[in-house]
Homo-oligomer: A and B are copies of this chain.
Amino acid sequence: MVKLNANLKNLKKNYLFVDIQNKAKDYISKNPAAQLISMGIGDVTLPLSPVITKAMQDASREMNDAKNFRGYGPYEGYNFLREAISKKYLDYGVEVKAEEIYVSDGAKSDAANILDVLSSESTVLITDPVYPVYLDASVMSGHKIHYVSATEDNEFLPLPEENLKADIIYICSPNNPTGAVYNRAQLKRWVDFANINESLIIFDAAYEAFIESSDLPHSIFEIEGSRKCAIELCSFSKSAGFTGIRCAYMVIPKELKVGSENLGEVWLRRQSIKFNGVSYITQKAALAALSPEGKEETLKCVRYYKRNARILSEAIKELGFWYTGGENSPYIWFKGPQGMKSWELFDYLLEKANIVSTPGSGFGSNGEGFIRLSSFGSYENTLCAAQRLKSIKF
């Protein structure tokens, strides 16, 4: 008799975004004239840059031509893209070789799939609050989970505590949901911890394009010692608007071993069994995003979202609420009036300002009392939302 993976029953049903959607629908049915502004989603809204569109059209044409047609691509991605990603790292003064880069269909997939090759006896460290995928993937594969608290006290940037034990450490910086960003000294403490304890850091840099302060690292590989203990996930989703196109990559340094095995080789074996490479069209689109013209065009989009983030964080500052994010991050994470729960605050914002937000409690118990706002909407809506925020009484 076939049975389900028993770990699945330990997954919590995550209805966060369904609940949000239902509340918004319910409100609009009772108040049909209301102009709701969604500040809840983490999805981009600006269209793809022309240079990327053109690259996809050209690649589509190539595939219609017998001489240029390409079938199965390499599991690890085409070299043209790996070389371009390698070059991009030089912008941050980081040397990552093309052969250390593994192209995939999403940083989220990679964050979850890497557990396939790691022993379920290895404990996983995640923060509370956390991007739910790290938690759910760990539960599904039967890993034991340790939490480290991210709170107002540590500005949502927890550091290794004494007696901490963790074999696998998920770090997301700039953080989703809190928008907090580790500086180099803080990341160094995690890298040192990992090297001493022979832990593996899974560094999720999906939002690195939003960093502008020069004291904040874009990559874990800016930190000394990281090549022996860390892998990095990054994506074209938020930098180039690829949430609907699907292209990301994992960096596994050549010297990174788990036990006696080279992790990059192990990962490639996994990919050869459970994956079949990323569409040629998509990889050409990603290549275009990394061209000089593509970088300029996509930077414009990032700047557009960052202006939104600034507008929102200034509104929150004016209201006098404690917050993180808003700069170097597309998210603003703020704490409402004392004693107000996340969902109460959500309802209040919905009713008084017609703003749809994300309750922080949906990301973990330490998120209680907090709200996440996203800057991925339009400039006009963001301005309007900021005005509405500032005009309501708390």
Which A residues are closer than 8 A to B by beta carbons? 1-6, 8, 11, 43-50, 52-53, 56-57, 60-61, 63-66, 68-73, 105-106, 108-109, 112-113, 116-122, 133, 136-137, 140, 167-168, 197-200, 241, 243-246, 258-259, 261, 266, 269-270, 273-282
Contacts and interface: CB of A to CB of B under 8 A. Distances in A.
Contacts of A5: 116-120
A1 B259 CA distance: 9
B43 A69 contact: no
B69 A281 contact: no
A199 B53 CA distance: 46
Contact of A63 (B11, B48, B136, B140): B48
19 contacts: A2-B118, A2-B122, A2-B258, A4-B258, A4-B259, A5-B118, A8-B117, A44-B71, A47-B69, A48-B60, A48-B63, A56-B57, A56-B281, A69-B241, A71-B241, A108-B274, A108-B276, A113-B274, A246-B277
Given A2-B200, A44-B71, 20 more contacts: A1-B197, A2-B122, A3-B118, A3-B259, A4-B119, A4-B266, A8-B261, A43-B72, A45-B69, A46-B66, A47-B63, A47-B66, A48-B64, A50-B64, A73-B244, A108-B274, A112-B274, A133-B273, A244-B277, A244-B280
Given A6-B119, A258-B3, A280-B244, A274 B44 contact: no
Contacts of A105: 105, 275-276
A269 to B, nearest CB: 7
A3 B280 contact: no
A60 B63 contact: no
Q: Give the top 4 A-B pairs by smallest Cβ distance, nearest first.
A: A43-B71, A53-B64, A3-B119, A56-B60
A140 B118 contact: no
Contact of A65 (B47, B65, B198, B259): B47
Contacts of A199: 1-2
A68 B71 CA distance: 29
A227 to B, nearest CB: 15
A8 B106 contact: no
B122 A3 contact: yes
Contacts of A61: 53, 57
Contacts of A140: 116, 270, 273-274
A66 B241 CA distance: 12
A2 B168 contact: yes
Nearest to A110: B274
Contacts of A137: 273-274
A334 to B, nearest CB: 24
Nearest to A140: B273
Contact of A46 (B3, B44, B69, B120): B69
A250 to B, nearest CB: 14
A43 B71 CA distance: 6
Nearest to A243: B71
Contacts of A120: 5
Contacts of A50: 64
A121 B6 CA distance: 10
A246 B71 CA distance: 10
Contact of A72 (B133, B243, B270, B281): B243
Contacts of A119: 2-6
Contacts of A276: 105-106, 108-109, 246
Contacts of A60: 48, 53, 56-57, 60
A302 to B, nearest CB: 15
